[in-house]
Homo-oligomer: A and B are copies of this chain.
Amino acid sequence: MAGVLLDMAISLDGLICGPGGADGGLYDWYFDPSDASRPVVAELVATTGSIVIGRGAYGTADDAQGWDETPYDVPHVVVTHRPPRPAPAGPVEFVFVTEGVREAVQRARDAAGDRFATIGGGADIARQALAAGLVDEVQLHVVPVLLGDGVPLFERTGAAARLAPIRVVDAPNVTHLRYRVD
């Protein structure tokens, strides 16, 4: 497979969402892409073979039924100590893993075929995966806004790593940065 990609949008002050979980416009480039962002979005969708997310991204309620749609027609691996009851009815394929991030990433790798297992939601999961050395590439979509409060992608994680730049895409109102973890 292609590897494990950590792919997240962040504000300039390093937050993945604003106060109260508000998205703060961090995914505008995704849902309404400019000409410059469109190939980045298309590549992301085309090269993702499975997705890893946290329980928050899936839906926090005990009976949450996930999402009705997603651009990614691939297995969505949800890391959680609390799988929803009843199990979601579809249409998106969710796999619930209760054994932690390492097992979830392994399951996602197994499901990714020749594409990426993409970690796409959940700051805790992103940090744990980085600290455990499970991430091969990092793509950050840096949005020029200071949200001031919310959930940081990184806090002092204790995970030190040098990254090798792959590319920078300078799009209107977002800068797409992609790196390989050495």
Q: Could you tell me which A residues sit within 8 Å of B by CB distance?
A: 12-15, 18, 130, 138, 140, 142, 144-150, 152-165, 168, 170, 172-173, 175, 177, 179
Q: Which of A138, A144, A163, A164 has the most CB of B within 10 A?
A: A144
- Docked CA distance A12–B138 (Å): 10
User: How many copies of this chain?
Assistant: 2
The 10 closest A-B pairs by CB, nearest first: A13-B154, A168-B170, A148-B160, A144-B163, A14-B14, A146-B161, A149-B156, A148-B158, A148-B159, A145-B162
Partner of A13 from the list B142, B145, B157 (CB cut-off 8 Å) is B157
In addition to A130-B146, A148-B159, 12 A-B residue pairs with Cβ atoms within 8 Å of each other are A12-B154, A12-B163, A13-B14, A14-B154, A18-B160, A146-B161, A146-B163, A148-B156, A148-B161, A149-B158, A165-B173, A168-B168
Is there contact, CB below 8 Å, between A179 and B148? no
Is there contact, CB below 8 Å, between B146 and A160? yes
Closest residue of B by beta carbon distance from A148: B160
Closest residue of B by beta carbon distance from A168: B170
Closest residue of B by beta carbon distance from A163: B144
Is there contact, CB below 8 Å, between A157 and B162? no
- Docked CA distance A145–B180 (Å): 11
A80 to chain B minimum Cβ distance, whole angstroms, is 25
Q: Which of A155, A162, A173, A175 has the most CB of B within 10 A?
A: A162
Is there contact, CB below 8 Å, between B163 and A168? no
| Across-interface contacts of A155 in B (CB, < 8 A) | 152
